[in-house]
Amino acid sequence: MLPILYSFRRCPYAMRARLAIAVSGQKVLLREIVLKHKPAELLAISPNKTIPVLQLNPSLNKDDAQQDVLSESLEIMVWALTNNDPEKWLTAQLPDMLALIDSNDYEFKPWLDKYKYADRFPAHSEAYYREQADDFLMLLENRLTIQPYLFAKRPTLADMAIFPFIRQFASVDKNWFEQSHYLHVKKWLETLMGDPLFKSCMHKYPTWLESGEEIPFPECL
């Protein structure tokens, strides 16, 4: 039985998991969900009730299944790439990559959420929240001034784990981002978003609860 990936198309954490699974060629069955209506099967096995979740061995019973679940997007990436890493996304710089991803997830992402939903955080303006994200974006900008990707001349784990979040940042106010001073970040994001790998991870699927359909993923399966 193939592993089951609970995924949500627009979630940047799920995107990074799908990207690593797709590049590694690991075969999974994708169950598309919506966050407001999580399936009981997912809630039963997931400790933190977030997306994505990879259930490695769906034939185990419910109690054992809990031991066999990856519920952090980064764990799913590393699982896929440890099995097969044809594009060499894992490099000797892994500790530095993980530190940058950590800054993305725990420093940049909270400001991104406030920028995205500024009306829910009336203490400050949208522009204020956007400005708080500048430190992290400049960190990326400086790295990308030296080379086309964050850690090398080619994409690695860090690029793939981080760009779905920068994509979200860019889409809050596209005109503002277009005229912003993040020249290298803009080019990097455009390149990664135009990559056929990303496009292959962004197909729209019916939700599993409504259609009962598990989608073989990647699609070339």
Ligand X SMILES: N[C@@H](CCC(=O)N[C@@H](CS)C(=O)NCC(=O)O)C(=O)O
Q: Which residues bind ligand X (CB under 6 A)?
A: 11, 13, 35, 50-52, 72-74
In the complex with ligand X, the residue whose CB is nearer, 68 or 180, is: 68
Size of the chain, expressed as the number of residues it contains:
221
CB of 91 to ligand X, least distance (A): 21
CB of 36 to ligand X, least distance (A): 8
- Three-class SS of residue 216? strand
Tell me the C-alpha distance between 183 and 193, whole Å. Answer: 16
CB of 145 to ligand X, least distance (A): 28
> Which stretches does DSSP call E strand in 34-182?
53-55, 69-70
In the complex with ligand X, the residue whose CB is nearer, 72 or 173, is: 72
Question: At residue 58, what are phi and psi to the nearest 5 degrees?
Answer: -65, -10
CA nearest to 117, candidates 172, 178, 37, 35: 172
In the complex with ligand X, the residue whose CB is nearer, 13 or 151, is: 13
Geometric angle at alpha carbon 191, from 141 and 161, rounded to 5°: 65
What would you report as the CA-atom Rg of the chain, rounded to the nearest whole angstrom?
18
In the complex with ligand X, the residue whose CB is nearer, 78 or 137, is: 78
CB of 16 to ligand X, least distance (A): 8
In the complex with ligand X, the residue whose CB is nearer, 11 or 150, is: 11
Nearby residues of 99 by Cβ (< 8 Å), 6 or more positions away:
none
CB of 110 to ligand X, least distance (A): 11
